[in-house]
Amino acid sequence: MAIILRLVLNRALIVWPCLFLIVLNAQDAPAKDFDGELNAGKIHSHERRMGPFKINERDFSVILKVLKYQGASMGFDETVESFSIVDKEGNVHFQKSFNVEYDEGGFTESAGVGAHALDSRGLRGFRVESGKLKEIIPKGHAGAGLILYYGIDPCAPSSGASCQVFALKGDHLVSLFSPLTAYGQIYELPHGSNPNARRLFDGNTMRFGVWTGWFEVIVPVKVLDRLRILPLHHHLTYGYDAFDVRVERRHSEEETFVRFFNIPKASSIPRHVIIKKDTKVEFLLAYTRVSIESGSAGCAISIDEMPWLKVRIDGKEGYVRDAEDLLALGIQPAG
């Protein structure tokens, strides 16, 4: 049975200090009626504009409706109630509303939205000329799309990271997919041609760090045209795809051992490898199966089972997966 893995967000790798999928109600209804509070002077509403963002030579802005709770503590005094994406003429291309809850101390959660244009520089395309497929690599900085990040504060240590990408289809800016969540982190995209623009990674991808409870599996996802996971290898290894991995290890103070498998199969016979304080341990790859599951509120990156971790111990390579072996390697569970 598939399990959705979770992550502890950390460091400068993440786009936002804490990101989470903001669940939208099915009818996109507005938030609670605040008329009473507004009249009492506790909650005030104002607009905040982000942009303009240039996409295919057209300017778009993201307009946030922000609620301010006077007298509330920092972090509980402001939240986004809704947002809309508009063009230069004021036409609305997309809009959403978020659920908002509050008590006498302020908002129970503070929702936030961030936005960047996606530069087209380096994005590869193709066209047919004289019956042959010709590759095109744009040289300019025309925007290829718009990316939104959704955040919430305070957030649980194991909360997820969520984003949504928009692109022009004809004259309309449309969402390419519903909010995509990784229970982990979203790796920061490289800076683009201006401060509010970003570029995709190689292969027109974004990188998501999916938390397994022990370590992070780095999953590249193609986000233009359609969502597609791009594993590092184009062939399966014993039924698994390979992904980069990020592991934090504590050096063992006592001598121990791990069961080291030659292949990523539980039915194979492992050998015992001694782990000492000065043993050199390198974490190479994670072998697993990753998919994108879609639902009414959004979609999420899922890993169907605990990955096999490919490890090099004092120059010898093998695979581990079970908890006792991960602990012996100095990897601690979290989240």
Q: Strand, coil or helix: what is 219? A: strand
pLDDT band at residue 158 under the 50/70/90 scheme: low
**For residues 68-97, average pLDDT:** 95
Specify the pLDDT at position 251.
82
Which residue is it, tokens 């947002």?
Answer: 83
Half-sphere exposure of 164 (CA within 13 A, CB side): 24
Q: Return d(Cα 173, Cα 196) in angstroms, integer.
A: 18
Strand partners, 239: none
Task: Count the neighbouring beta carbons within 10 Å of the beta carbon of residue 313.
Answer: 18
pLDDT digits (tens, 9 = 90+) for 251-265: 877 899 999 999 999
Contacts 24+ apart (CB under 8 A), 314-318: 314/279, 314/280, 315/280, 316/260, 316/273, 317/284, 318/260, 318/261, 318/262, 318/270, 318/271, 318/273
In this predicted structure, the answer to whether residue 209 has a pLDDT above a threshold of 90 is yes
Q: Strand, coil or helix: what is 325? A: helix
**For residues 220-242, average pLDDT:** 90
pLDDT digits (tens, 9 = 90+) for 281-305: 999 999 999 999 987 779 999 998 8
pLDDT digits (tens, 9 = 90+) for 191-201: 988 888 999 99
Nearest residue to 133 (alpha-carbon basis) of 145, 124, 123, 142:
124
In this predicted structure, the answer to whether residue 187 has a pLDDT above a threshold of 90 is yes
Q: Which amino acid is at 21?
A: L
In this predicted structure, the answer to whether residue 72 has a pLDDT above a threshold of 60 is yes
Q: What is the DSSP string of 32-70?
A: ---HHHHHHTSEEEEEEEEEEEEETTEEEEEEEEEEEET
% of the chain exceeding 90 in pLDDT: 62
Alpha helices in the chain (DSSP H): 35-40, 323-328
Exposure pattern of 50-79 as b/e (b: 16+ CB <10 Å)?
bbbbbbeebebbbbbbbbebeebeeebbbb
**For residues 135-159, average pLDDT:** 71
What does the block give as tokens for 310?
């490919």
If one compares 132 and 270, the residue with the highest pLDDT of the two is 270
Specify the pLDDT at position 17.
38
In this predicted structure, the answer to whether residue 323 has a pLDDT above a threshold of 70 is yes
pLDDT band at residue 202 under the 50/70/90 scheme: confident
Specify the pLDDT at position 2.
42
Q: Return d(Cα 91, Cα 110) in angstroms, integer.
A: 28
% of the chain exceeding 70 in pLDDT: 80
Specify the pLDDT at position 1.
41
Task: Count the neighbouring beta carbons within 10 Å of the beta carbon of residue 46.
Answer: 10
Q: Strand, coil or helix: what is 275? A: strand
Contact 163, 186 (CB under 8 A): yes
Contact 135, 125 (CB under 8 A): yes
In this predicted structure, the answer to whether residue 138 has a pLDDT above a threshold of 80 is no
Tell which phi-psi region holds residue 289, choosing left (phi > 0), alpha (psi between -120 and 50) or beta: beta
In this predicted structure, the answer to whether residue 34 has a pLDDT above a threshold of 90 is no
Nearest residue to 174 (alpha-carbon basis) of 117, 96, 94:
94
| 114-123, 195-204, 242-251, 311-320: the lowest-pLDDT one | 114-123
User: What does the DSSP 8-state code read for residue 30?
Assistant: -
Specify the pLDDT at position 52.
95
**For residues 217-238, average pLDDT:** 90
Average pLDDT, the chain: 83
Specify the pLDDT at position 234.
77
What does the block give as tokens for 329?
């390697």
pLDDT digits (tens, 9 = 90+) for 5-33: 333 333 333 334 343 333 333 333 344 45
Specify the pLDDT at position 334.
85
Q: Is the peptide bond before 333 cis (omega within 30 degrees of 0)?
A: no
**For residues 27-50, average pLDDT:** 65
In this predicted structure, the answer to whether residue 95 has a pLDDT above a threshold of 70 is yes
**For residues 163-191, average pLDDT:** 93
